[in-house]
Amino acid sequence: LADLITELYPRKPYTVEHKVLAVLWHLLGNMTSSGSLPGAGGNVRKAIAKLSKALFAQMGPSLFTYAANQPPHIKKSLEELLETTT
C-alpha cells in the first residue's frame, strides 16, 4: 500500500485522503504498544511506519491536519512513527 501512494497521490489525492487515511487511522488505533494488531501475529509497526512515511512524503504537514481530527492516541502514534523513520 505504501508503494502505491507515490504513484496514486499525485493523480488521485482525494482517494488517498479518504480511503488510505481511513486504513492508517484504523491501524494506528488498533496497534498495541508492542507493535502488533489484536488477533494477528507479528509486528506491524514497520509496515505502518512505512505507510505513514509515504503519506507524509506526499501530503506533507496536511497529514497532521487530518490527524488532528483523530483521537489523541492516534495522532501521537503517528508523530512517534514519523520521528523514528525520518
**Which pLDDT tens digit goes with each residue over 15-43?**
999 999 999 999 998 876 666 565 565 67
- Model pTM score: 0.85
- Grid cell, residue 9, equals 497521490
Domain holding 6, by residue range, is: 2-85
> Could you tell me where the DSSP H helices lie in 2-86?
2-11, 13-15, 21-30, 45-59, 62-67, 72-85
Distance CA 86, CA 66 (A): 20
Considering its fold, how many domains does the chain have in total?
A: 1
